[in-house]
Chain A
Amino acid sequence: MFSLAQRGNTLFAFLVSVLFCVLGAVALSGPVLLASAPVGPPHIDVAKVLVKQGRRGGYYDYSQPVTEMAFVHFNMVADLTPHWNWNTKMLFVYVVAEYSTPAHPTNQVVIWDDLITAKEDAEIDLRNQLSEYMTSDMGNKLAGIQANLSLHWNIMPHVGILTKERSGSVPLVFPKVTK
């Protein structure tokens, strides 16, 4: 009746149920903890914007047309430490340039991102940071377009659902092309 296999099976089933209950509780606690610890608005300002000409795609890909590309230098102070709790594995932090053109009403381009894997690094202080990714439009023109910079972050949990938040909005105008 009570063989070793049966005892083992019962014990294993119990362990697995307990494990999944704990995981479920941790997963549920994540969004609650995030909501209870709001993050203050970041301070972003644009230090310098340059628009140059180049091609999208690889260096060797001459089939792409010449396009205007923007390089943004910006300052940013933000404190995301409140969003660091026991279910935060990583914060993916990114700065997005948003603008609108007649052909494409919504354009969102990540100009800079960072992977934050420790609470100490969640306090961000950037001075004159150059954008990591250049901005370019599908119409190949950028000069004169009015854009907005905002800070977004994606909270990657140890277990559970992924959440995204955004904050701040700073205007920016792409200048004429510098040769």
Chain B
Amino acid sequence: MDALKSLSRLSVRQLAQQALNFCLIVSSALMIWKGLSVVTNSESPIVVVLSESMEPAFARGDLLFLTLPSTPVTIGDICVFKIQDKPIPIVHRVLEIHAAQNGSQYMLTKGDNNPTNDRALYNPGQMWIRQEDVVGKVQGFLPHVGMVTILLNDHPQLKVVLLGVLALFVLFSREE
């Protein structure tokens, strides 16, 4: 076991240094994510498409970049919204907007690849999406990259393997 030998060769200080390096990587990833969140004003600035309802625009595994601008949603925008009490957000296009005098919007959405509008996906009796349901507006697009997270979610054991390999690499890679 080469790996174990090299581990035993490391002093306590070196081990601690590697552990700190590992923590630094994890915390900078978290900071980038949170920083993006602040800049875009969206709780999840990057989302992965999970369904085929927006084909051919968005396929399963595509990455979407969201912002939540303070300006109202305009017609034809692709929005990510949440239905109350349903866990998974939906990415669909806004095809109808009625704005009241105080600026509050009533919106109807539809997936490009779906034959009908989304009223069947809303809660029973719900006719409209409101501004507070909108998590973000799709601004940018990067194809296929999100397939990694879909794979990791479909096969949870992969996560352990990936984390283990990464941790080993960080612990054992030393600049000579």
Binding site for B on A (CB under 8 A): 23, 27, 56-58, 63-64, 89-90, 92, 94, 96, 103-110, 113, 115, 117, 133, 137-138, 152, 154, 156-162, 164
Contact = CB atoms under 8 A, between A and B. Distances in A.
A118 B69 CA distance: 32
Contacts of B77: 164
Contacts, number: 83
Interface of B: 56-57, 74-78, 93, 95-101, 106, 112, 117, 119-120, 125, 127, 138-143
Contacts of B120: 58
A107 B76 CA distance: 13
Scoring B77, B95, B117, B120 by chain A CB atoms within 10 A of each residue's CB, the highest score goes to B95
B127 A64 contact: yes
A23 B106 CA distance: 37
Given A159-B141, A159-B143, A152 B98 contact: no
Contacts of A106: 97-99
A2 to B, nearest CB: 12
Contacts of A109: 95-97
Contacts of A104: 98-101
B139 A162 contact: yes
A113 to B, nearest CB: 7
The list of the 5 closest CB pairs from A to B, nearest first, reads: A108-B75, A110-B95, A106-B99, A156-B57, A108-B97
